[in-house]
Chain A
């Protein structure tokens, strides 16, 4: 079983990102589970959401403490939250930033930084980075594939909005694939 923890701020769509990744994984024939770190979230407050991927039914119900992957939607979180806590050796961290990150990355972790805010502004016209980061996650981990992402996004955001989000996700996917 592989586990993902998403760090974001209330309003950035972390819970939606977890849902969309789980839906895309399910489309690819993987048993997936997505859930938020339940809280009374306010806009701007640190939030977490989780995804599990497995070949068979997932029974475990605890939160994720030792993820294989993390996504950080907002690098300013790194000052307030230990986003790398428990991240496995050999794990992958995907961080939205246009600069270097303000913390030491644990040994053995592969760090991928991407200016998801810039991409989202260009492709969507709003600084909502979750769908861009889904594309980066797909390219970095191979857990989900672009056709499944498209299906999940179009189901959640039918029409033009879905197309724009698919464009953002695919742009990030190709960018990260190109760097790999």
Chain B
């Protein structure tokens, strides 16, 4: 049913519909409203789950790992410093192949302390083995949770997923969202069927020590599962589209790219503002388009190559920076397009919540036309 609600509450509703059996999380801005809502649902018997109150994010994800290893469907949510505190556990969850779904309410990392949005937090965990999906609006953030559990728990994948949506910009925004019925989600997302579980009656070990004779093969297996996740994501997305009429089957999604000379590449809520700017530039006769990246892990290199085949210039918008290098998305897009003639320029913007307007997107198009890029955009030079 279509209703108007806060992004965090839409996500909490989505999580409830997924019927997680264990939720462990530690509140942190701007994720707090999600876990508050889930705690209320458990207290009010609207969600039949064990809600574990923990003293830190390290414990939150550790509790999730144990519960998942025991065969439960598990959920957590965090952001920024909280995700940083989970760093070690994140690698363990993927290494033990536990299909945990965790929402990331994307936020900048300190120091200096900053509670506002960028995507440095999840991007910094890109090598942990988790799949990472980014939502453009609250409908997509809601729907990606249903898809995330299906993909994570698929026996061809068995990897955890971060569903990333921009802190405040989406988490604290009220907008209309269609919340599916429980019956419809039950039909789409059956109960979790684990392959192996920790069971005292049938003892086995998990996440044990691997010597140099075996460790590399474990890493190889995770990489293979990431690659298989592409196909599974497309399959599950197509099935979701059939049932619910909203299509997320593409790891990337193009907008007005058909005859474009120039394309933006972006992830998350900024894509909406980019679409608005593209419509304005199109009206002025500029052939521009957008390629939105929905799945950052696995990274859609082939899909990007195919989508940009007719384009000559690309502006990659990064709400993160690999300090001493460039934005993470720009680097990976350049790798995907290696050997092509396409001119790829990166722009670091919106760090720590700096607002982005249509005029900024148009200004970046102007820089790209002049061949200027691989730079910060919107710096206040007067305070430097």
Chain A, 26-77, CB within 8 A of any chain B CB: 26, 31-36, 38, 40, 58-63, 65
Do residues A58 and B175 form an inter-chain contact, with CB atoms below 8 A? Answer: yes
* B136, closest chain A residue (CB): A59
Judge whether A23 is part of the interface by a CB distance below 8 angstroms.
yes
B270 contacts A33, C-beta separation under 8 Å:
no
The answer, among B4, B273, B276, B357, for a CB contact under 8 Å with A22, is B4
Q: B116 and A33: CB pair below 8 A?
A: no
Asked if B172 and A35 make an inter-chain contact with CB atoms under 8 angstroms apart, the answer reads: yes
B174 with A19: CB separation less than 8 A: yes
Whether the pair A59, B175 counts as a contact (CB closer than 8 A) is no
Q: In the complex, A19 Cα to B137 Cα: how many Å?
A: 17
Interface size on A, residues (CB 8 A): 20
Cβ < 8 Å to B, chain A residues 3-22: 18-19, 22
> Which B residues touch A65, using CB under 8 A?
357
Binary contact track A136-161/B, C-beta < 8 Å → 1, others 0: 00000000000000000000000000
Main secondary structure of the interface of A (DSSP, over half): mixed
Q: Is the CB of A38 within 8 A of B4?
A: no
Inter-chain contact B174/A35, CB cutoff 8 Å: yes
How many angstroms from the CA of A26 to the CA of B173 in the assembled complex? 14
Would you call B273 and A34 a contact (CB within 8 A)? Answer: no
User: Does B365 touch A at the CB level, under 8 Å?
Assistant: no
Tell whether B43 is near chain A: CB-to-CB under 8 Å.
no
B168 engages A38 (CB within 8 Å): yes
Contact A36 B169 (CB under 8 A): no
Chain A residues contacting B270 (CB-CB under 8 Å) are: 61
Q: Is B71's CB within 8 Å of the partner chain A? A: no
Choose one: A22, A23, A32, A61; the contact of B169 (CB below 8 Å).
A61
Partner of A60, one of B30, B176, B272: B272
- A141: shortest Cβ distance to chain B, in Å? 18
CA distance A60 to B278 in the complex (A): 12
Residues of B in contact, count (CB < 8 Å): 24
Evaluate contact between B174 and A61: CB separation under 8 angstroms. no
In the bound complex, residues from chain A placing their C-beta under 8 Å from that of B353 are 38
Distance (whole angstroms) from the CB of A107 to the closest CB of chain B: 24
Please, how many angstroms separate the alpha-carbon atoms of A21 and B194 in the complex? 46
* Interface contact A62-B358, CB-CB below 8 Å: yes
Q: How many A-B residue pairs have CB under 8 A?
A: 60
Smallest CB gap from B113: residue in A: A40
Q: Which of B30, B116, B174, B273 contacts A59 (CB 8 A)?
A: B273
Say yes or no: B358 contacts A35, CB within 8 Å: no
With A38-B353, A61-B269 given, is the CB distance from A23 to B4 under 8 Å? Answer: yes
CA A62 – CA B272 in complex, angstroms?
Answer: 9
Closest to A15 in B: B172
Q: Measured between alpha carbons, how far is A59 from B138 in the docked complex, in Å?
A: 11
Which residues of A sit under 8 angstroms from B355, Cβ to Cβ?
Answer: 62-63
Q: Which chain B residue lies CB-closest to A18?
A: B174
Report yes or no: A62 in contact with B175, Cβ–Cβ below 8 A: no
**Which chain A residue lies CB-closest to B361?**
A62
Once the chains are docked, how many angstroms separate the CA of A40 from the CA of B273?
A: 25
A61 touches which one: B30, B176, B272 (CB < 8 A)? B272
CB of B275 within 8 A of chain A? yes
A31 surroundings in chain B (CB, below 8 A): 175-176
Q: Is B115 an interface residue (CB 8 A)?
A: yes
Given contacts A35-B172, A38-B116, A38-B168, contact A59 B275 (CB under 8 A): yes
Q: In the complex, which residues of chain A have a beta carbon less than 8 angstroms from the beta carbon of B358?
A: 60, 62
Q: Answer yes or no: B356 CB below 8 A from chain A CBs.
A: yes
With A38-B168, A61-B273 already in contact, 6 other A-B pairs whose C-beta atoms are closer than 8 Å = A22-B175, A34-B173, A35-B168, A35-B169, A38-B116, A63-B355
Binding site for B on A (CB under 8 A): 18-19, 22-23, 26, 31-36, 38, 40, 58-63, 65
8 closest cross-chain pairs (CB), A and B: A59-B272, A38-B168, A26-B4, A35-B173, A34-B174, A62-B357, A33-B175, A61-B269
Write 27 A-B pairs (CB below 8 A) sorted by A numbering. Answer: A18-B174, A19-B174, A22-B174, A22-B175, A23-B174, A32-B174, A32-B176, A33-B174, A34-B174, A35-B168, A35-B172, A35-B174, A36-B172, A38-B116, A38-B168, A38-B353, A40-B115, A59-B273, A59-B276, A60-B358, A61-B269, A61-B270, A61-B273, A61-B356, A62-B356, A62-B357, A65-B357
